Amino acid sequence: MSSAQTTIDIATRGAGLYEFTEEARGFVRGSAVETGLLTLFVRHTSCSLLIQENADPDVRRDLDEFFRRLVPPSNDPSMRWMVHTTEGPDDMPAHVKAALTAVSLSIPVMDGRLALGVWQGIYLFEHRDAPHRREVVLHLGS
């Protein structure tokens, strides 16, 4: 088997979780690979990748809220120590949240399908408030 690669564009409309499980599944299906490894890589430093529960939307809401409370905007009184503030109060916290989560993830492909658990969905975790166009590279290898 040789490797296959593609890039997915995700348009975000503010902070939160954006699912792209179906796009990843479609890429694996189109490759006709039976046994392999799908690696996702996000080409940015203020958003990240997350595999989380795709059932109750409150889980995503609470995840997002936890990170907001752990890393408040840099104009919050508790964050006055932050130096990198010129790109907006949500920028430096976005870098921190990205550091606390994942820039790359790998999921085995078994019998032609992603080995995701029943409740696992794949998300882009946007940490900036303004809309952004985000690129995720998908690499399907052996």
Binding stretches for a copy of itself (CB under 8 A): 1-3, 5, 35-37, 39, 41, 43-45, 50-53, 56, 58-59, 61-63, 65-66, 69-71, 81-84, 92, 95-96, 98-108, 110, 115-117, 119-120, 135, 137, 139, 141-142
For a copy of itself, the closer CB: 14 or 104: 104
For a copy of itself, the closer CB: 22 or 100: 100
* Shortest distance in whole angstroms from residue 26 CB to a copy of itself: 18
CB atoms under 10 Å from CB of 77, counted, come to 6
Give yes or no for a contact between 111 and 34, defined as CB atoms under 8 angstroms apart: yes
Give yes or no for a contact between 60 and 67, defined as CB atoms under 8 angstroms apart: no
How many residues belong to the chain? 142
For a copy of itself, the closer CB: 75 or 142: 142
CA dist 115 and 50 (Å) reads 15
* Shortest distance in whole angstroms from residue 97 CB to a copy of itself: 10
Residue 9 burial class via C-beta count within 10 angstroms: exposed 0-12, middle 13-18, buried 19 and up? exposed
For a copy of itself, the closer CB: 26 or 94: 94
